[in-house]
Amino acid sequence: MDVRELASDVSEASAAISAKLRRVVVARYGGPEELQVVEERRPEPKPGEVGIRVLAAGVSLPDVMMREGVHPETPPLPFTPGWDLVGVVYRLGDGVSGVEPGQTVAALPIHGAYAAYVCLPQGKLVSVPPGLDPAEAVSLVLNYITAYQMLHRSARVRPGQRVLVHGAAGGVGSALLQLGRLVPLEMYGTCSARGTAAVSDLGATPIDYRQRDFVEEIQRLTKGGVDVVFDGIGGKHIWRSRRALRRGGTVVAYGLTGSLQGGRLASGGSGGRQRYRRLAIFGVYIAGGWLLPGRRHVVPYSIQWLERVRPAWFHEDLTMLFDLLRQQRIKPLIAARFPLSEARQAQELLGKGGVVGKIVLVRDP
Ligand SMILES: NC(=O)c1ccc[n+]([C@@H]2O[C@H](COP(=O)([O-])OP(=O)(O)OC[C@H]3O[C@@H](n4cnc5c(N)ncnc54)[C@H](OP(=O)(O)O)[C@@H]3O)[C@@H](O)[C@H]2O)c1
């Protein structure tokens, strides 16, 4: 152990003793009141793992859906939410090399990031260049990867194509617009009234979905429809999105925002782990897209499945996105920063809607 490592270990150890180490736990599926803060000792990495002091964890609708028990990735109870994190390595488990204590890393653990400290397998980590704001960096891990891979790996967009982005002021939506502008694409974005200025600033024509019918509006504005629709709303909405396509166009279906209302299940039911109930409808629309005339297809996108099947893409794409952030070619919109112990308030704010950009949990003061 060199002097730098020893010094970092000593300061970490004293911080760990004096600070209360917090973690957020869901012990029952349900509303934001189910997010409980527990205090515990710092975890120690097992062989092959790396201990990380979390600097920033993203708050996203998939976290809310897991809390409600309806996301396909919902773990059994009790669990700690949090898809994405950026943190600093504090300790290496046996057999780990090529990572240094003090190094900043990012990861997509899918759950577990709402914690002061986490331990993750080394293969899950992507190095973060020095000097980036952890809140901005963490926005790339779930939202921008999702946006980038949908644009370039699912839809394979080409310069000048027309796209419609639903929820364009939200976390993934604003990422789609920033990355779409770099292509460049002709962009339209649905949002509520509070998001229209942000959507215009990001280079898209806003469509207030609460005031106007987006299918009619797209047909009026484009005289023929768009090449691609990015639909994170899900359910029957996918079918309406298909009607906004030109012949030969594609809907990329990737979310179930429409199954929530005010941050709770729109159906009113809750309390169980129902991971697959809402997925069947995707199959119906995908099959329908191929069977019906008009060559308007629906393709699904899932970051977690692509990461499992093609882990190298995740590393490659995230490293490239960090580079774009370092060069200031993208600038994630940070809607709010909450201390970790206020995870409940952060999810309540996201659930209320009208949030522009990404909500991030940062370390407790
Ligand atoms: N498949 C994947 O790999 C993947 C990865 C990440 C996220 N997701 C999914 O992506 C979706 C968005 O996640 P997020 O974290 O970006 O959420 P978010 O930040 O809350 O953004 C969602 C946005 O949708 C808007 N919205 C709600 N209902 C709408 C409607 N009917 N029409 C148009 N816009 C509407 C909301 O605006 P207002 O509140 O102003 O109405 C909000 O701006 C979620 O369903 C999530 O599960 C999927």
Report the pLDDT value the prediction gives residue 4, as an integer from 0 to 100.
46
Q: Is 302 in the pocket of ligand 1 (CB under 6 A)?
A: yes
What per-residue confidence (pLDDT) applies to 11?
Answer: 53
Tell me which residue of 5, 136, 63 sits closest to 343, measured CA to CA: 63
Measured distance CA(111)–CA(255) in Å, rounded: 17
User: Comparing C-alpha atoms, which of 175, 159, 155, 186 is closest to residue 325?
Assistant: 175
CA of 254 to the centre of ligand 1 (A): 9
The pTM of this model reads 0.93
Of ligand 1's listed atoms, the one at least distance from the Cα of 306 is 3
For ligand 1, the distance from its centroid to the CA atom of residue 354, given in whole angstroms, is 11
Contact of 105 with 158, CB cutoff 8 Å: no
Whose CA is closest to 94, among 137, 57, 51, 153? 51
| Closest C-alpha residue for ligand 1 atom 21 | 170
Q: What is the pLDDT of residue 20?
A: 65
Q: pLDDT at position 10, please?
A: 46
Please indicate whether residue 196, judged by its CB atom, sits closer than 6 Å to ligand 1. no
pLDDT for 133-179, tens place per residue?
999 999 999 999 999 999 999 999 999 999 999 999 999 999 999 99
345 lines ligand 1 (CB under 6 A): no
Strand ranges in 235-349 using DSSP code E only, listed in sequence order: 245-253, 260-261, 264-265, 297-300, 334-339
Q: CA 119 to CA 109: how far, in whole Å? A: 10
Question: Which of 61, 145, 334 has the most ligand 1 atoms within 8 A of CB, as the residue to mutate?
Answer: 61
The verdict on the CB of residue 350 being under 6 Å from ligand 1 is yes
pLDDT tens by residue, 286-307: 777 777 877 899 999 999 999 9
pLDDT digits (tens, 9 = 90+) for 20-48: 689 999 999 999 999 999 999 999 999 99
Does ligand 1 lie within 6 Å of residue 139's CB atom?
no
Assess whether pLDDT exceeds 60 at residue 322. Answer: yes
pLDDT at 17 (0 to 100) = 47
Among the listed residues 163, 178, 134, 157, the one whose alpha carbon sits nearest the alpha carbon of residue 356:
178
For ligand 1, the distance from its centroid to the CA atom of residue 169, given in whole angstroms, is 9
* Beta carbon of 154 within 6 Å of any ligand 1 atom: no
Which residue among 231, 257, 298, 350 has the greatest number of ligand 1 atoms within 8 angstroms of its CB, and so is best to mutate? 257
Residue nearest atom 13 in ligand 1 by C-alpha distance: 61
pLDDT band at 18 (very low <50, low <70, confident <90, very high): very low
Convert the pLDDT of each residue in 334-349 to its tens digit. 999 999 999 999 999 9
Average pLDDT, the chain: 92
How far apart, in whole angstroms, are the C-alpha atoms of residue 148 and residue 247?
A: 24
The model's confidence at residue 284, banded by pLDDT at 50, 70 and 90, is: confident
Q: Which residue has the tokens 């976390």?
A: 171
pLDDT in tens, 189-221: 999 999 999 999 999 999 999 999 999 999 999
Q: Are strands 117-121 and 49-59 parallel, antiparallel or unpaired?
A: antiparallel
The finding on whether 232 has its CB within 6 A of some atom of ligand 1 is yes
> Closest Cα partner for 333 from 187, 189, 176?
176
23 touches ligand 1 (CB under 6 Å):
no
Q: At what angle do helices 343-352 and 61-68 cross, to 10 degrees?
A: 100
In short, whether 195's Cβ falls inside 6 Å of ligand 1 is yes
From the CB of 353, is ligand 1 less than 6 Å away?
yes
Q: Closest ligand 1 atom to the C-alpha of 83?
A: 6
